[in-house]
Amino acid sequence: MFDQLNALPADPLLGLISQFRDDPNPKKVDLGVGVYRDESGHTAIMSAVQKAAQQHLETEDSKTYIGPGGVPGFIQGVKSLVFGKDSSILKDERIAAIQTPGGCGALRVGAELIKRVKGELTVWVSDPTWANHIPLIKSAGLNIKTYPYFDHSTGAVNFTAMDEQLAQLGPTDIVLLHGCCHNPTGADLSFENWQQVASRAAQNGFIPFVDIAYQGLGDGLEEDVKGVRYLAEKVDEMIVATSCSKNFGLYRERTGSLLIQTKSKEQAQAIQTQIQDVARANYSMSPAYGGFLVDLVLSNDSLRTEWEAELNSMALRVKSLRAGLLKQIQLQGIEQDFSFITQQKGMFSYLGITKEQVQRLKSEYSIYMADSSRVNVAGLNTHCLEYVAQSLKAVL
């Protein structure tokens, strides 16, 4: 039976990991896979999370299942992070929620829930979008189309073209939006853009599906969800997928959540049974460990203060690296305008160079990035900025 299946090509982004590892060049730079790294190139455990882990280890007395919804404290904490602790939507109990195996699990459960809705529905994703969005959603059996988003000439959002497409959508459409720190471009919607998206959604009836995986790594925990919260107040229904991989550093713990905003408390109760049923058919119970850690951090004032301070320092470091890279590019006398680097948000940026130039950076200078020229800014450090800028000048 299995001899009918052939080997698949390696994932182009994940394949960079082994290529970088095997490269003997001491100057090599890994700007590929999207994980946060410190100045030494290490993805350390956040101090507040480390303390929560020790506390959990000392108090945990069972490994039994936690239930289909996940860790209750984690769910409440994430709801408040996204919607705000004083949200009328939370007070009215209009949110169905479930802990999931990472943001990917949330996206997949959300897609499976959409599939249960009667009628031919279409999920619209930005052009470009995170590489795994389309496989996760399409494999659930949903139709996918793209809406205009990124302007390669400016490195910013082409909101005019995006809005023109949104104006044509209706109740059979679901629009996937990046809550902040757009992956892969780093180009974010302005608050005014969010207001217009909310107006379109309210008027036309399409359902927003927000993927927020980087809250706190852009302008701040509250600032990064300002647009999402505005949108939530203006529409009746919305889907939100969250991830704790980046802002809590829980990459390998696969900790995420799916939040479904409904029209009423009664609908939320009904949808709660649906998403738990979807989860049961896919993975049964979500991993508990990461949820326990997030709950401990968010519910303990001391740990939360420490976590917020460390997260803020990570965000500031990424902004500093953006500024440092732009400065080095300008010092090299490169004529091409790269000023968009400091205007974009979060860990990622599109350099706007060709695939051939990307390949030269890898083969001649051991600088690794996606073929699209998406770079993980958090993979830089102050020691390699000049080398990266010099190498970029050489291939332009």
How far does the chain reach from its first CA to its final CA, in angstroms?
A: 50
Tell me the C-alpha distance between 78 and 84, whole Å. Answer: 9
Name the CA dihedral angle for 124, 182, 388, 366, rounded to a multiple of 10 degrees. -50
Distance of CA 175 to the CA centre of its chain: 16
Separation CA 195–CA 204 (nearest Å): 14
What one-character-per-residue DSSP string does 61-105 give? ---S---TT--HHHHHHHHHHHH-TT-HHHHTT-EEEEEEEHHHH
- Told to judge if 91 belongs to the known catalytic residues of this protein, a careful annotator would answer no
Residue 362's nearest CA partner among 392, 337, 332 is 392
Q: What's 277-328 look like in SS3?
A: HHHHHHCCCCCCHHHHHHHHHHHCHHHHHHHHHHHHHHHHHHHHHHHHHHHH
28 is catalytic: no
Count other C-beta atoms under 10 Å from residue 245's C-beta: 23
379 neighbors 32 (Cβ within 8 angstroms): yes
| Rounded Cα gap, residues 82 and 261, in angstroms | 12
What's the one-letter identity of residue 129? T
Q: How far apart are CA 145 and CA 124, in angstroms?
A: 5
CA distance 213 to 11: 21
Instruction: Choose, from 30, 51, 79, 130, the residue flagged as catalytic.
Output: 130
Out of 173, 211, 224, 295, the active site residue is: 211
- Among residues 51, 246, 345, 362, which one is catalytic? 246
Strand-pair category, 173-178 with 207-212: parallel
User: Cα torsion for 62, 68, 69, 70, to the nearest 10°?
Assistant: 30
Known catalytic residue at 319 = no
Which are the catalytic amino acids? 130, 211, 246
